[in-house]
A = this chain, B = another copy of it.
Amino acid sequence: MAGEHSFFLLDEDKPREACGVFGIYAPGLDVARLTYYGLYALQHRGQESAGIAVGDGELITCRKGMGLVSEVFTEETLSSLKGHIAIGHVRYTTAGDSTIENAQPLTFHYKQGMIALAHNGNLKNYIELRRELSESGAIFQTTSDSELIVNLIARTSTNDLITGILETMKMICGAYSLVLTTGNRLYGIRDPYGMRPLCLGRIGDGYVLASESCALDTIGAEFIRDVQPGEVVIIDENGITSLRPHQRGRYALCVFEFVYFARPDSVIDGLNVQSARYAMGRQLAREYPIDGDVVVPVPDSGTSAALSYASERGLPFSEGLMKNRYVGRTFIRPTQEMRDLAVRLKLNPVRERLAGKRIILIDDSIVRGTTSGKIIQMIREAGAKEVHMLVSSPAVTHGCHYGIDTSKKGELIAASYSVEEICKYIGADSLHYLSLSGLHAALASFKSEDLCDACFCGKYPI
């Protein structure tokens, strides 16, 4: 979850994913260390904070901090986390609320002992539920919906935790992939719409849960299957138990996982992310066979689509923009006078690839449009004759009800301006977005109604 319910944060001109979660039940293995590596593989899903909670059958010990996984944990802290169950979490940077209180996993004492939870997603009825709980005297240390979920589970676990989880799932509504442990059991929960990914793997005699399959690969675990929408997976010494308490609603996996969020080497609900992006590039080629000399991606987000676009069209592909590999979060931002440097610090045009050429520039999405404009200006200054911009997903016209801060909706350029206006604003010779039907064609392994594409069309699944 994101404390501020901010899903599309536009600072870097890309939507922002919420979080990555990881869980492991593996007696005999160093579960803290494996969680460390698993989170490291999920680092792209969140760079603000990282945390690991380990259970040894009774106690749960938790360590978390601000920053990258590699910054938060030391050999010493990892070594201090002993047990056979672990859950972990990485959280995305969101403006203004970057405090340790919001780092996860959250750990709580409740009447039956301790509980630790890591959450990816956002609740739609957070405010109502929190108001209700507050009325009955509950207090909260954070503004996160994750803390709310634990409160609900604690209140409804009159007899046992499972009952509490199932009751809570009836009450909450929205996107959530959860991993949870009581110190002797590991739970994986995916909301009935399956909005956020969650998959299950095997390592030795144990089991692993992760937001993306790349985390399984990284620690050498074998992929078993995706957790199903509305499914509760319980892992303990008896192996895996699966509960499917709820009528399945509409399956509505977030399509932006394929467009931008997930790592290309992950497979989500049966589809490899890179394959999806290659297909989007090919579809783009069919829809917009632009006459150009060279296909150039905005690295790294546009690379996959640009490769397949170039291949489909038989055009040369060139790395015409070089990305500084050391772009990091603690970077000192340029002062006002040096503002023009901001994009150059991240990207540098390669004149030899661009000068005198008609450039087909490809990116995966445009949110605010400010960065795109600066990139196109740099490409022109490097001598390009023409710059045609292609976007391998449709225009983002609607806020996300499962996360976006609605006050920011005005920042969605495509919500307020036409494609022609945006083209002019970013200074391109032409601009084209992949059509929504083209996106669905590229993701043909999914029925179109099984994906949430509300940010492109406004049809909200819930």
Once bound together, how far apart are the Cα atoms of A110 and B303, in whole Å? 48
Report the count of interface residues on A (CB-CB < 8 A): 86
A274 touches B353 (CB 8 A): yes
**Does A430 reach chain B (CB closer than 8 Å)?**
no
Q: How many copies does the complex hold?
A: 4
Task: For residue A415, give the distance in angstroms from its CB to the closest CB of chain B.
Answer: 30
A403-444 contacts to B (CB < 8 Å):
none
A154 touches B141 (CB 8 A): no
For A384, the chain B residues whose CB sits under 8 A away are: none
A265 touches B139 (CB 8 A): no
Task: For residue A167, give the distance in angstroms from its CB to the closest CB of chain B.
Answer: 11
A30 touches B335 (CB 8 A): yes
Once bound together, how far apart are the Cα atoms of A317 and B75, in whole Å? 39
A332 touches B220 (CB 8 A): no
A264 touches B70 (CB 8 A): no
* In-complex Cβ contact of A352 among B154, B155, B275 (8 A): B275
A220 touches B341 (CB 8 A): yes
Once bound together, how far apart are the Cα atoms of A320 and B448, in whole Å? 28
B335 touches A33 (CB 8 A): yes
Task: For residue A129, give the distance in angstroms from its CB to the closest CB of chain B.
Answer: 13
**Does A290 reach chain B (CB closer than 8 Å)?**
no
Interface residues in chain A, defined as those with a beta carbon under 8 Å from any beta carbon in chain B: 30, 33-34, 36-37, 40-41, 43-44, 47, 68-71, 73-75, 78, 100, 106-111, 115, 131, 134-143, 150-151, 154-157, 214, 217-220, 263-265, 267, 272, 274-275, 300, 303-304, 307, 311, 316-319, 322, 324-326, 328, 330-332, 334-335, 337-338, 340-341, 344-345, 348-353
A141 touches B111 (CB 8 A): no
Given contacts A108-B139, A137-B154, contact A264 B319 (CB under 8 A): yes
B156 touches A150 (CB 8 A): no
For A272, the chain B residues whose CB sits under 8 A away are: 350-352
7 pairs across A/B with beta carbons < 8 Å? A30-B337, A68-B326, A71-B330, A139-B151, A272-B352, A274-B353, A307-B318
For A350, the chain B residues whose CB sits under 8 A away are: 264-265, 272, 274
A109 touches B345 (CB 8 A): no
Since A214-B322, A217-B348, A303-B319 are in contact, a sample of 19 more A-B pairs with Cβ atoms closer than 8 Å, ordered by chain A residue number, is A30-B337, A30-B338, A33-B335, A40-B326, A44-B326, A108-B141, A109-B134, A110-B137, A134-B154, A137-B154, A139-B150, A139-B151, A218-B345, A220-B341, A263-B322, A265-B349, A272-B351, A272-B352, A317-B317
B326 touches A218 (CB 8 A): no
* In-complex Cβ contact of A341 among B106, B155, B219, B340 (8 A): B219
Given contacts A75-B332, A319-B274, contact A37 B345 (CB under 8 A): yes
Given contacts A107-B141, A319-B264, contact A340 B36 (CB under 8 A): no
Once bound together, how far apart are the Cα atoms of A120 and B36, in whole Å? 36
A265 touches B341 (CB 8 A): no
For A214, the chain B residues whose CB sits under 8 A away are: 322, 348
A340 touches B43 (CB 8 A): no
Residue in chain B with minimal CB distance to A77: B332
For A140, the chain B residues whose CB sits under 8 A away are: 108-110
A265 touches B151 (CB 8 A): no
A74 touches B332 (CB 8 A): yes
A220 touches B319 (CB 8 A): no
Task: For residue A455, give the distance in angstroms from its CB to the closest CB of chain B.
Answer: 24
